[in-house]
Amino acid sequence: MMAAPKQSWLVAFILAGLLAGCAQKQASQPVHENTVTKVVAVKPELTAQTITPVPKPVEEPGKEPSQGHTQQLEQALRELKGMLSTIGDTNRSTDERSQALESFLKGVESFLQSEGSMAYSDQDLSQKLDQQIVVKTKVENGTSFRIVHYAGLPELLGTLERNWTFVQWKDANGKVHAQTLIEQGAEITNDFVVTKAKDGLFIGLTGYLTVEKPHPVFLATWTLREEQWQPRAIPNLTQPEGWSVEVTDNEASFQADGEMFVEVSDADKTIHISQDEAGKRITLSFRTGEVMLQKP
């Protein structure tokens, strides 16, 4: 009868030993504290291919831009200049330079669409972009019109189709508009004529073509309808003696045997094309809003 208490004592002793072992094992395991990894957001650096969009000004169209908006325009010009630097940097890869070119072209049109951008003179705007653009402004019936021409580098685009021409103007309410007229073409634009036609304002760009030498003279025409320049077909032109004239849609080319020169007369809305060696000369008139060859 005394065996039962002895067995109970033995069982209790074994259980106590097991509990002590478990406690010791838990105490020997390391305790891990919860840790938090902080991720610091790195602000991306602006590259030469990045242009800050010029926000719309609070001023009404036609009014002088505020100082704050002028500073934004200046910043946009600095970034465009940086892109030109990247485009011309032969130490950079072709991909980098091509990306900078794409950003530059988009940035130019964005800048020209900004209120206040027409306040810059032609000379000032050209100087701020390292004389790498041609800028010319004319006024017709109190409205300002401006062309901006950019010629891409031959090593990136080849020697032929590497020219862009933008037009900038104000509507009747003084709002600024801009549009690309020539996109990667052979036309080197250096002057233009703007006048009224029966169906709207008429613009004619002129300059030289890079397709061959001596460089032919070109004329390309558009009409402004609902604040968009639409190509305006050029009628078939008589072939003057000693000249080769080709007309395709809204563009005509003129070529003689030697080097040619172009002169625009804003007073009488004419373009004079001459070839000095042989004394050849033809005149294009736009007085009626149509392209006409005047008889010598």
Taking only the tens place, the pLDDT of each residue in 150-201 is 999 999 999 899 999 999 999 888 899 999 999 999 999 999 999 988 888 9
Higher pLDDT, 229 or 288: 229
CA pair distance 230, 164, nearest whole angstrom: 17
In order of 80, 86, 136, 152, 255, the CA distances from 149 in angstroms are: 14, 19, 9, 10, 22
Taking only the tens place, the pLDDT of each residue in 30-57 is 444 444 333 333 333 444 445 555 444 4
Question: pTM of the predicted model, to two decimals?
Answer: 0.77
List the single range of 7-11, 83-87, 243-247 with lowest mean pLDDT: 7-11
Residue 233 pLDDT:
93
